[in-house]
Structure 1
């Protein structure tokens, strides 16, 4: 980070995000009530991550990769708005997260963007055809399950591309931030999966209730730091 003004502003933003992080975690853990809701604070924190990504000067860095990062974070805040504030049309939010991982995959790969887009489209069509076949034979299946499977594949490919990028240039700070951010993103999604499965089971008990509470809190313990690292990966070090 060469520009001192950018450094100071970015540090201030990170400090504000961390304060918000502590606030909504405290609200979730201790069931605190404030004038602003936990979900609103969560959305604000992700929005500030997008603002953080706008600070680097594209003329002094990889402009295409920076544009893709910003686009990915922009779509992320739309998806998070649906999940946190709107709380409806979850299929649209899942679809947006799939698109985010596609964009990140193109960024990490650095080339052959069109080929990657075509592969994702073909993959989605194959999954969609299988869904139609299974749906007709076994009965109605929630389409969100299909999107969740497609998202899992998209995320796996994105993580793979991030790892390959790090292996190509392991000394770059930005590449390390990408890998660490994607790993935290993975841990977030794993906790989200655990929370969903426990919700489907609809069983009760001290252990299951404890796991539900831990998983729902852990989602954001990993998610927000992942977004901070991804936003910071756009800076030039």
Structure 2
């Protein structure tokens, strides 16, 4: 299993990453299902690391990630639902960081309540995306503070992906941001999976 996680999984993910980037850059074919397969691969690998509470938490977050990509990538509809699923992902990662020593459970519960209140205030997609993005940035800062390097890099690449998505939707640098989001997104998910605590001890 250790060989699969450290060698086979990264190689498979890299192969899919190269395939969909090639398809996007050349416009030879639609890359949607290749991208979705790559995220499903991350989710499956995360489930193989469910030997600890931390491993189970990351696997659960990857399930919601797959759900979000189903709506935002494959179906390309129900945008608010997809964004809210990504918000759940970040709240799960927030709880993970809390368990790893960043903040108190009471503070985390207040964060969850505030996030839900802000999203419930209006289901306007841009507003929901802002709440989600703030949670992502908070998680990245906490992971850096805890020196969880692999997880922190995964979240930082996640941020770069979302910056590309936002820039594309605003019509900025569309030649790059159209494919640039997935340039960062899949590596971010691979690193998050590799940050799982699969045995007793601190998550990397």
| TM-score higher than 0.5 | yes
Q: Deviations over 1:146-191 (max 9, x none)?
A: 101111221122112212221xxxxxxxx21101111111111111
Distance 1:47 1:57, change over 3 A: closer
Large movers: runs of 4+ above 6 Å? none
> Is residue 182 from structure 1 mapped to residue 155 from structure 2 by the alignment?
yes
Q: Deviations over 1:98-135 (max 9, x none)?
A: 11001001101216446413322224425654x5xxxx
Paired with 2:4 and 2:118, the residues of 1 have a C-alpha distance of 46
TM-score by length of 2: 0.87
Paired with 2:119 and 2:182, the residues of 1 have a C-alpha distance of 29
SS of the equivalent of 1:223 reads helix
1:15 maps to which of 11, 16, 26 = 11
CA RMSD of aligned residues (A): 2.0
Structure 1 residue aligned with 2:42: 49
Paired with 2:140 and 2:45, the residues of 1 have a C-alpha distance of 22
Paired with 1:215 and 1:126, the residues of 2 have a C-alpha distance of 28
> Is residue 92 from structure 1 mapped to residue 64 from structure 2 by the alignment?
no
What does residue range 5-84 of structure 1 map to in structure 2 within 5 Å? 6-10=1-5, 11-33=7-29, 37-56=30-49, 58=51, 63-84=52-73
Higher Cα Rg, which structure: 1
What does residue range 119-138 of structure 1 map to in structure 2 within 5 Å? 119-126=111-118, 128-129=120-121
Paired with 1:221 and 1:162, the residues of 2 have a C-alpha distance of 22
SS of the equivalent of 2:77 reads coil
Unaligned 5+ residue runs, structure 2?
A: none
1:149 maps to which of 124, 130, 137 = 130
Aligned residues: 195
